Structure 1
Amino acid sequence: MKKLCFYINSDWYFSLHWKERAVAAIDSGYQVHVICNFSSDDERRSLELLGLITHNSNMSEQSLNPFFLMKDVYRSCKILKEISPDIIHCITIKACIIGGLYSKIYNKNLVLSFVGLGRVFSSEVIVYKLLKKIVTKLYAWISKKKNVFFIFEHENDRCEIVNRTGIDINKTFVINGAGVNLSDFNYVEEDDREIPVVLFAGRLIWSKGLKDLIDAKIALREQGVDFVLDVAGFIVKNDPDSIPQSLIEDWSCKGIIRWLGKSNNVSELIKKSNIIALPSVYAEGVPRILIEAAAIGRATIAYDTGGCGSIIKNNETGYLIEKSNFPELLDKLQVLLVDIELRKEFGKRASIKAVDGFSSKKVIETTLGIYKNLIANY
């Protein structure tokens, strides 16, 4: 039995974006291991019940401290050596670099996934600019392996990394995000409400754009246009970009937002909403919330960052706004709030687009095909 090992920073991120592919790999005959920082025993047990073999890396996810990095390298390489996988699938930058180094030394089949380029490639902070140079050189070095494959969530990221590193484009592939299970996220026409509901769902970090939605709510209310702003997500610990929980609670107490906390049933939240908004300035992949919203048939509005344009077709399925252009965000959000028939039409078109190009079935088949190709040829 061939061994496949997923190596990733966070347990919640693996469960949200990769669990379906891991279970499909088990069904295809692989023994599947997961290495990540398990912050929740419940999350770990739920994966083990699905047949996955879990390993806690205790990785310091956000830290740039060289001492912690060396500990991460030692612990992770020790686990990888014990597993001795036939394929290592690395996700997120730190895992890609450590897993890439290990696979280079021990000549393991390697898949690297770029789920958006993140702060390392988008931030103008000096430390991140320095990291970008180092990471770029390491990617170029790792790419010289014969048995390596690079997966991107959208074409813009592939072009940037290929141009920066000189990676052979034949070693790359674009898969449109994590996909969506169309049985769970099926089209449901929105309910007519006297006061529309706008849903923001995601990590509660400043760069995801929640503050712009709050400012939009306040500005539009002064113009006589009101909406309920539902906020679902979780506080990110040990991240300088995290929105403090005290501020979230303050916004909730003042009635600016309706704070829903972390949700295990996002499809129901989307169905109870009229518009899904993500004014993120973060270097996104293809945000899952936008794919899920499209599948259910909701108009979406987002800044044109990362892969948001892969799922939103401007003025057809929603509005794609120039990054950080708050006046345009305000204007287009007002259009969606006021014009019920327009947003319903956007939602219908969005659902068709999701069915055609973003089903999890297609994502799983393509990913398993890459594993099969590596095993067969190397």
Structure 2
Amino acid sequence: MAGRLLIVVNDAEFFVSHRLAVATAARAAGHDVHVATAPGPGVGAIARHGFVHHEVPLSRSGRGPVGEWRAFRALLRLMQRLKPDLVHLVTIKPVLYGGIAARLRRVPGVVVAISGLGHVFTADGARARMLRAALAPLFRFALGHGNIRVIFQNVADREALSKLARLPEGNIVMIRGSGVDLEQYRYLPEPGPPPTVLFASRLLKAKGATEFVRAARLLRERGLAARFRLAGSIDPGNPTTVTADQLDSWRQEGVVEILGQRADMATLLAEAHVVALPSYYGEGVPKVLLEAAACGRAVVTTDHPGCRDAIEPGVTGLLVPVRDADSLAQAIETLLLDPDRRQAMGAAGRRLAEREFGIAGVTDQHLRIYAALERGVAGP
């Protein structure tokens, strides 16, 4: 019989956008599903979908030693009270704090989802290296549970964290992204002119927002008639966020259309000819690239962990170097001027999404992992 499942994510909106389908499938399979997140706008949606929500003081950015201790203590107390049979920990702080708490509270089974390792693991500076060294013993303890599966979305993250935490190969599972609803994100013919390029993400410099605007500026200077659309919001909690002043400057310049935060991603993708995400962020596999593939849109993204895992280079999209607006502009121009190649890439992207990214397959993989852990057996 399926037991009690506690899913811990730092951000409620991230749970709704990236893990709701898994939670819904687990409930349908008989699990008593509870969700723990920080307070935020997504909490109401969690309740509307019928899940019991628990508020914990998690944050994506640091709150100092006292704040971090409170977050860990809250998870420790929650697991003591709920006594879950399984915990599913998503994003780095829940993984670290929740993994330690799960071992201390003797939770029978643990699922860890690494949806991108973030700045600490991707930066090359001395401070980042020192922090990784300091975190290594904590990750080894957090991921040292005797009945655990660690889900990675891309090979680079798997290699980095496996080495740091000394993970046994049998505890590792690869699932390529969070999945996409192939019915909601349908394959539709391209719209008419003008050709449109879409960037849809949090407006972070590390997501490539600045390079996207620079590429749009370069292509306008070359006389290319195209629309460049920027969808997303700034993120004051992230040190690489685009500032409000910078966003206003772009709006006044008029090179890109500033759309703000949008909930109608399927519509935006259907209105685009090319989707660009020139990210150098610590990605898992960016969900917008899975959605673009499902909608049959060619992609331009970076040769960067997670981004390159979302496409078949030269088949469903093009890869460019990170932090390189010139190369980004050239790749976009190549696709805008060659509709036959662009549309062939879009069709190949849809086939890739059907083969690899469908939400039904992703939820089924999770349910098999849950069942294996509840049996306490090796392998997913």
Q: Same fold (TM over 0.5)?
A: yes
Aligned residues: 375
Given that 1:188 and 1:297 are in contact with CA atoms closer than 8 Å, whether structure 2 keeps it comes out as yes
Provide the secondary structure at the position in 1 that maps to 2:202: strand
Given that 2:76 and 2:105 are in contact with CA atoms closer than 8 Å, whether structure 1 keeps it comes out as no
Deviation at 1:126, TM superposition (A): 4.1
In the alignment, the residues of structure 1 paired with residue 293 and residue 17 of structure 2 have an alpha-carbon distance, to the nearest angstrom, of 17
In structure 2, the partner of 1:28 is: 29
In the alignment, the residues of structure 2 paired with residue 53 and residue 125 of structure 1 have an alpha-carbon distance, to the nearest angstrom, of 42
In the alignment, the residues of structure 1 paired with residue 256 and residue 79 of structure 2 have an alpha-carbon distance, to the nearest angstrom, of 44
Deviation at 1:22, TM superposition (A): 0.6
**62-71 vs 25-34, which moves further:** 62-71
Deviation at 1:253, TM superposition (A): 2.7
In the alignment, the residues of structure 2 paired with residue 328 and residue 237 of structure 1 have an alpha-carbon distance, to the nearest angstrom, of 29
Letter of the 1:291 counterpart:
L
The Cα offsets for residues 229-285 of structure 1, whole Å up to 9 and x where unpaired, read as 111112212322111123213312321221111111100000001110000011211
In the alignment, the residues of structure 1 paired with residue 78 and residue 274 of structure 2 have an alpha-carbon distance, to the nearest angstrom, of 44
Moved over 6 A (4+): none
In structure 2, the partner of 1:233 is: 232
1:97-112 matches, within 5 Å, as: 97-108=96-107, 109-112=109-112
In structure 2, the partner of 1:72 is: 71
Given that 2:4 and 2:32 are in contact with CA atoms closer than 8 Å, whether structure 1 keeps it comes out as yes
Provide the secondary structure at the position in 1 that maps to 2:187: coil
Aligned pair 1:254/2:253, yes or no? yes
In the alignment, the residues of structure 1 paired with residue 227 and residue 255 of structure 2 have an alpha-carbon distance, to the nearest angstrom, of 8
Provide the secondary structure at the position in 1 that maps to 2:10: strand
Deviation at 1:326, TM superposition (A): 3.3
Given that 1:60 and 1:68 are in contact with CA atoms closer than 8 Å, whether structure 2 keeps it comes out as no
In structure 2, the partner of 1:122 is: 122
Letter of the 1:253 counterpart:
Q
1:288-299 matches, within 5 Å, as: 288-299=287-298
In the alignment, the residues of structure 2 paired with residue 234 and residue 149 of structure 1 have an alpha-carbon distance, to the nearest angstrom, of 34
5+ unaligned residues in a row in structure 1: which ranges?
none
How has the CA–CA distance of structure 1 residues 125 and 159 changed in structure 2, closer, same or farther, with 3 Å as cutoff? closer
In the alignment, the residues of structure 1 paired with residue 340 and residue 279 of structure 2 have an alpha-carbon distance, to the nearest angstrom, of 26
In the alignment, the residues of structure 2 paired with residue 357 and residue 59 of structure 1 have an alpha-carbon distance, to the nearest angstrom, of 32
Normalising by the residue count of structure 1, what TM-score does the alignment of the two structures yield?
0.95
**151-160 vs 15-24, which moves further:** 151-160
Aligned pair 1:16/2:36, yes or no? no
The Cα offsets for residues 316-335 of structure 1, whole Å up to 9 and x where unpaired, read as 11101123333322221110
In structure 1, the partner of 2:60 is: 61
Letter of the 2:151 counterpart:
I
In the alignment, the residues of structure 1 paired with residue 242 and residue 139 of structure 2 have an alpha-carbon distance, to the nearest angstrom, of 32
In structure 2, the partner of 1:213 is: 212
Letter of the 1:252 counterpart:
R
In the alignment, the residues of structure 2 paired with residue 289 and residue 96 of structure 1 have an alpha-carbon distance, to the nearest angstrom, of 23
Provide the secondary structure at the position in 2 that maps to 1:276: strand
In structure 2, the partner of 1:142 is: 142
Provide the secondary structure at the position in 1 that maps to 2:16: helix
In structure 2, the partner of 1:190 is: 190
In the alignment, the residues of structure 2 paired with residue 53 and residue 361 of structure 1 have an alpha-carbon distance, to the nearest angstrom, of 23
Deviation at 1:102, TM superposition (A): 0.8
The Cα offsets for residues 145-176 of structure 1, whole Å up to 9 and x where unpaired, read as 21111000122221222233321011010001
The Cα offsets for residues 261-316 of structure 1, whole Å up to 9 and x where unpaired, read as 11111000000011100000112111100000001100000011122222211111
Given that 1:217 and 1:226 are in contact with CA atoms closer than 8 Å, whether structure 2 keeps it comes out as no
The Cα offsets for residues 73-120 of structure 1, whole Å up to 9 and x where unpaired, read as 122222222222111111111111111111111221111111011111
Deviation at 1:181, TM superposition (A): 0.8
In structure 2, the partner of 1:169 is: 169
Given that 1:284 and 1:306 are in contact with CA atoms closer than 8 Å, whether structure 2 keeps it comes out as yes
Letter of the 1:71 counterpart:
R
Provide the secondary structure at the position in 1 that maps to 2:233: strand
Provide the secondary structure at the position in 1 that maps to 2:237: coil
Provide the secondary structure at the position in 2 that maps to 1:235: coil
**245-254 vs 167-176, which moves further:** 245-254
In the alignment, the residues of structure 2 paired with residue 178 and residue 70 of structure 1 have an alpha-carbon distance, to the nearest angstrom, of 29
In the alignment, the residues of structure 2 paired with residue 103 and residue 48 of structure 1 have an alpha-carbon distance, to the nearest angstrom, of 25
Q: CA RMSD in A?
A: 1.5
In the alignment, the residues of structure 2 paired with residue 97 and residue 103 of structure 1 have an alpha-carbon distance, to the nearest angstrom, of 10
In structure 2, the partner of 1:90 is: 89
Given that 2:37 and 2:55 are in contact with CA atoms closer than 8 Å, whether structure 1 keeps it comes out as yes
In the alignment, the residues of structure 1 paired with residue 342 and residue 364 of structure 2 have an alpha-carbon distance, to the nearest angstrom, of 32
Given that 1:311 and 1:354 are in contact with CA atoms closer than 8 Å, whether structure 2 keeps it comes out as no
5+ unaligned residues in a row in structure 2: which ranges?
none
Deviation at 1:72, TM superposition (A): 1.2
Provide the secondary structure at the position in 2 that maps to 1:204: coil
Normalising by the residue count of structure 2, what TM-score does the alignment of the two structures yield?
0.95
Deviation at 1:64, TM superposition (A): 5.1
How has the CA–CA distance of structure 1 residues 164 and 74 changed in structure 2, closer, same or farther, with 3 Å as cutoff? closer
In the alignment, the residues of structure 2 paired with residue 207 and residue 163 of structure 1 have an alpha-carbon distance, to the nearest angstrom, of 25
The Cα offsets for residues 47-83 of structure 1, whole Å up to 9 and x where unpaired, read as 1121211011122320151121111112222222222
